[in-house]
């Protein structure tokens, strides 16, 4: 991972740049949901992107955290977000590593960076969810000390996307 750097964002990166990496993320998620047989509107990636921008302040200090990964060239190749849910709990959101940067340890670094910020924010627990076909995250979370929970927890996705509940896996880590 020597040619990739993690950047903590105090302000949002340029909209076009962040929208580019998030569009890759949403396209992948929608493709995976369709592969599972779910009927997903073709406009879902654009709707999800608009929803992010409408609530983007939730992912900046003091409410949360946005980290991005960049190659030495400056190209953004990954991102991850943290959102404070209450005084003790933060939720990891929008974890994505571009195809050409996978296998570099960047996913681990993006989670560890957000965990560090969560501790600095005084949070006591992190939660996350992911879809069944996201084997990358389902494998990585336990390696970093997260425990897969037997039942659902009220994550943002759980509350906003009830049709996905049967296909979700939930993780928690005490800090």
Q: Quick one: tokens of 127?
A: 């939660």
- Confidence at residue 103, expressed as pLDDT on a 0 to 100 scale: 87
- Confidence at residue 40, expressed as pLDDT on a 0 to 100 scale: 84
Nearest-angstrom CA–CA distance, 77 and 143: 22
- Confidence at residue 15, expressed as pLDDT on a 0 to 100 scale: 95
- Confidence at residue 2, expressed as pLDDT on a 0 to 100 scale: 59
In terms of residue numbers, what domain contains 31?
A: 4-174
Ordered mean pLDDT values, 10 residues apiece, the chain (175 residues): 85 96 92 87 88 95 95 94 96 94 92 97 97 91 97 91 91 98
Count of domains forming the chain: 1
CATH of the domain at 147: 3.40.630.30
- Confidence at residue 108, expressed as pLDDT on a 0 to 100 scale: 94
Record the pTM.
0.92
């Amino acid at each position: 991972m020597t040619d990739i750097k993690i950047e903590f964002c105090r302000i949002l990166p340029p909209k076009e740049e962040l929208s580019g990496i998030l569009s890759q993320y949403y396209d992948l998620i929608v493709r995976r949901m369709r592969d599972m047989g779910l009927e997903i509107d073709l406009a879902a990636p654009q709707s999800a992107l608009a929803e992010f921008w409408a609530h983007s302040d939730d992912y900046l200090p003091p409410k949360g955290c946005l980290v991005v990964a960049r190659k030495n060239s400056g190209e953004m190749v990954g991102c991850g977000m943290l959102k404070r849910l209450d005084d003790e709990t933060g939720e990891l959101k929008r974890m994505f590593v571009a195809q050409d940067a996978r296998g570099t340890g960047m996913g681990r670094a993006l989670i560890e960076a957000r965990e560090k910020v969560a501790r600095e924010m005084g949070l006591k627990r992190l939660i996350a969810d992911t879809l069944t076909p996201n084997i990358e995250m389902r494998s990585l979370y336990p390696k970093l000390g997260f425990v897969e929970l037997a039942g659902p927890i009220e994550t943002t996705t759980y509350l906003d996307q009830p049709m996905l509940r049967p296909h979700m896996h939930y993780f928690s880590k005490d800090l």
